[in-house]
């Protein structure tokens, strides 16, 4: 069985070959806030790799009479991809690519001996990089256009030697152009490739790949397009990716809490650059707290949050912190202020948004979650405890109760995190760890191409921030009372 991992260097090489520089594939920071939470491999890239692997033992040239491809799951960089193939008859090939225990790509092709290649319709170079178009649904509906065909044959041969040896350069260029169509032209910036269905024709009258949107399903953001190219015609489908979720501004939240209800807090908010962490930072600052927002990759997002708070009268600062590499980062965070009264822990791995395979438990994915929700959390609390930290907010999840079919690893890791919280509290009577099981809340991490009910984070977090504050104060009073009682019983201490 063929298997491999796709690297970011190979991602760059494929973008150069195809002309598809969509930030979903090419910008690790921007992709944090997109559908999958991290860069994903161009859909056509593993298709070409799979066909190249299959053609390795083919001695003669082939022409695809039909090619059908679907992308049920994304393929993530640096994750193992496995190849499985089967044939219904001598001129048929079916391939499935597996990533993380589930089928990520399905390919079905029928082929024949190669005919005339008609390479005169190709630009034998790289397409010039272009920023993806930003289109509204109204722009997309009825959109049409054409793309020139490009193929730098030498570069293609380095990446896919057997594909370029066996398959017509025109067919390669046409298939390659579909990723540029989806990722750059239509739907453009906010796109996710879904399906491709091409058939061979005898017509070489045109020199470009022409497209026309034939259907837009606004309920699901699904776009269907008819495509016509030299020697090929067919249909492709793509989803309109949901835009990053914008949380409420600091100004709009100032009236939702009392101006001094969190004024005793010096809060360290790990993972406060977006999502629930961002909302928490703004609410605490609106209630009089001094907050430090940390980020791992999203410095720009964290700075935006802090500037929003500070420019409107709140007190906030930012600092880099990677919970998997704490020693240096945490020393820099605490150097500016030795006493944090509260820790809010919203550190989240990139794999959160990609999710797991339905009804399949991945040990590797579980470990990734545990690195953040168990090991990273424990190390953070233990180090800050030595500096006087007593109060910790650890967000858990209703997924523990509901067990969605594709969230077993996430739920299990959060359950392990809850157990860790109980252990830490049991062994330290002065510590309060508040661990609410939060519902599905509207953030970048819960975005989906299929409409899903996500709850407004603001009222939920206001309720839990107040409950956490009250629980911390109650624990503090109890500890003081116990200390006084112990002093009366043993006045020599």
Assess if residue 492 is contained within a domain. Answer: no
* Number of domains comprising the chain: 2
Asked whether residue 323 falls in the same domain as residue 188, the answer is no
In CATH, what number is assigned to the domain containing residue 194?
3.10.129.10
**Least confident span in 94-103, 336-345, 471-480, 484-493:** 484-493
Residues 16-21 have a mean pLDDT of: 97
486: pLDDT strictly greater than 60: no
Residues 119-125 have a mean pLDDT of: 78
Asked whether residue 218 falls in the same domain as residue 259, the answer is no
Asked whether residue 229 falls in the same domain as residue 280, the answer is no
Asked whether residue 69 falls in the same domain as residue 180, the answer is yes
Residue 445, phi then psi, degrees to nearest 5: -70, -25
| Parent domain of 372 | 250-480
Asked whether residue 217 falls in the same domain as residue 254, the answer is no
Assess if residue 488 is contained within a domain. Answer: no
Asked whether residue 69 falls in the same domain as residue 101, the answer is yes
Instruction: State the pLDDT confidence band at 493, using cuts at 50, 70 and 90.
Output: very low
Dihedral over Cα of 128, 133, 139, 142: its sign: positive
Assess if residue 485 is contained within a domain. Answer: no
Instruction: State the pLDDT confidence band at 119, using cuts at 50, 70 and 90.
Output: low
Query: For 57-70, what is each residue's pLDDT tens digit?
Result: 887 889 999 999 99
Q: Give the pLDDT score at 7.
A: 96
Instruction: State the pLDDT confidence band at 264, using cuts at 50, 70 and 90.
Output: very high
Asked whether residue 366 falls in the same domain as residue 389, the answer is yes
Percent of the chain with pLDDT over 90: 69
Final residue in a domain of this structure, among 195, 221, 240: 240
Final residue in a domain of this structure, among 191, 220, 240: 240
Asked whether residue 88 falls in the same domain as residue 222, the answer is yes
Instruction: State the pLDDT confidence band at 165, using cuts at 50, 70 and 90.
Output: very high
Q: What's the predicted TM-score (pTM) here?
A: 0.81
Asked whether residue 88 falls in the same domain as residue 120, the answer is yes
Final residue in a domain of this structure, among 214, 240, 266: 240
Asked whether residue 259 falls in the same domain as residue 200, the answer is no
Assess if residue 300 is contained within a domain. Answer: yes
Query: For 134-161, what is each residue's pLDDT tens digit?
Result: 999 999 999 999 999 999 999 999 999 9
Assess if residue 401 is contained within a domain. Answer: yes
Q: Give the pLDDT score at 256.
A: 95
Residues 241-252 have a mean pLDDT of: 88
Asked whether residue 124 falls in the same domain as residue 271, the answer is no
Query: For 195-234, what is each residue's pLDDT tens digit?
Result: 999 999 988 878 899 999 999 999 889 999 999 999 999 9
Query: For 32-46, what is each residue's pLDDT tens digit?
Result: 878 788 899 999 999
Assess if residue 375 is contained within a domain. Answer: yes
| Residue that is written with structure tokens 């010039």 in the block | 128
Q: What is the 3-state secondary structure (H, E, C) of the chain?
A: CCEECCCHHHHHHHHHHHCCCCHHHHCHHHHCCCCCCCCECCCHHHHHHHHHHHHHHCCCCEEEEEEEEECCCCCECCCCEEEEEECCCCCEEEEEEEECCEEEEEEEEEEEECCCCCHHHCECCCCCCCCCCECCHHHHCCCEEEEECECCHHHHHHHCHHHHHHECHHHHHHHHHHHHHHHHHCCECCEEEEEEEEEECCCCCCCEEEEEEEEEECCCCEEEEEEEECCEEEEEEEEECCCCCCCCCHHHHHHHCCCCCCCCCEEEEECCCCHHHHHHHHHHHHCCCEEEEEECCCHHHHHHHHHHHHCCCCEEEEEECCCCCHHHHHHHHHHCCCCCCEEEECCCCCHHHHCCCCCCCCHHHHHHHHHHHHHHHHHHHHHHHCCCCCEEECCEECHHHHCCCCCHHHHHHHHHHHHHHHHHHHCCCCCEEECCEECCECCHHHCCCCCCCCECHHHHHHHHHHHHHHHHHHHHHHHHHHHHHHHHHCCCC
Asked whether residue 475 falls in the same domain as residue 372, the answer is yes
Query: For 280-310, what is each residue's pLDDT tens digit?
Result: 999 999 999 999 999 998 899 999 999 999 9
Q: Give the pLDDT score at 331.
A: 74
């Amino acid at each position: 069985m063929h298997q491999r991992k796709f690297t970011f260097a190979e991602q760059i090489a494929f973008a150069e070959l195809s002309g598809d520089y969509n930030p979903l594939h090419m910008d690790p920071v921007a992709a944090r806030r997109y559908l999958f939470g991290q860069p994903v491999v161009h859909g056509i890239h593993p298709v070409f790799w799979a066909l190249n692997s299959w053609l390795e033992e083919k001695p003669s040239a082939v022409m695809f009479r039909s090619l059908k491809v679907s992308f049920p799951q994304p393929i993530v960089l640096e994750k193992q991809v496995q190849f499985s193939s089967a044939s219904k008859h001598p001129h048929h090939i079916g391939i499935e690519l597996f990533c993380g225990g589930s089928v990520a790509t399905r390919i079905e092709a029928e082929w024949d001996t190669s005919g005339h290649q008609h390479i005169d319709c190709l630009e034998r170079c790289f397409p010039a990089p272009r920023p993806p178009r930003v289109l509204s649904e109204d722009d997309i509906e009825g959109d049409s256009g054409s793309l020139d065909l490009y193929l730098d044959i030498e570069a293609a041969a380095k990446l896919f030697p057997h594909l370029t040896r066996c398959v017509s350069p025109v067919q390669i260029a046409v298939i390659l152009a579909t990723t540029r169509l989806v990722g750059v032209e239509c739907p453009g910036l906010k796109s996710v490739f879904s399906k491709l269905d091409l058939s061979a024709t005898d017509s070489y009258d045109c020199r470009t790949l022409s497209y026309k949107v034939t259907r837009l399903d606004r309920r699901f953001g699904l776009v269907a397009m008819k495509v016509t190219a030299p020697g090929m015609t067919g249909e492709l489908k793509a989803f309109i990716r949901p835009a990053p979720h914008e949380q409420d501004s600091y100004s709009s939240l100032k009236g939702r809490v009392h101006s001094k209800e969190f004024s005793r807090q010096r809060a360290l908010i790990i993972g406060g650059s977006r999502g629930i962490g961002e909302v928490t930072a703004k609410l605490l600052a609106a209630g009089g707290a001094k907050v430090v927002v940390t980020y791992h990759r999203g410095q720009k997002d964290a700075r935006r949050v802090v500037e929003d708070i500070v420019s409107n009268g709140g007190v906030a600062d930012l600092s880099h912190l990677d919970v998997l590499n704490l020693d240096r980062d945490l020393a820099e965070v605490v150097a500016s202020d030795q006493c944090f009264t509260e820790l809010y822990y919203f550190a989240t791995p990139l794999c959160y948004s990609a999710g797991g395979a339905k009804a399949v438990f991945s040990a590797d994915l579980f470990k990734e979650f545990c690195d953040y929700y168990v090991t990273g959390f424990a190390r953070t609390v233990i180090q800050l405890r030595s500096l006087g930290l007593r109060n910790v907010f650890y967000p858990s999840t209703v997924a523990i109760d509901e067990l969605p079919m594709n969230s077993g690893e996430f739920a299990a890791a959060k359950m392990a995190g809850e157990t860790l919280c109980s252990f830490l509290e049991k062994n330290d009577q002065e510590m309060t760890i508040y661990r609410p099981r939060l519902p599905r809340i509207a953030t970048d991490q819960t975005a989906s191409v299929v409409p899903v009910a996500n709850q407004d984070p603001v009222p939920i977090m206001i309720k839990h921030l107040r409950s956490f504050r009250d629980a911390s104060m109650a624990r503090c009073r109890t500890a003081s009372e116990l200390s006084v009682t112990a002093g009366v019983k043993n006045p020599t201490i």
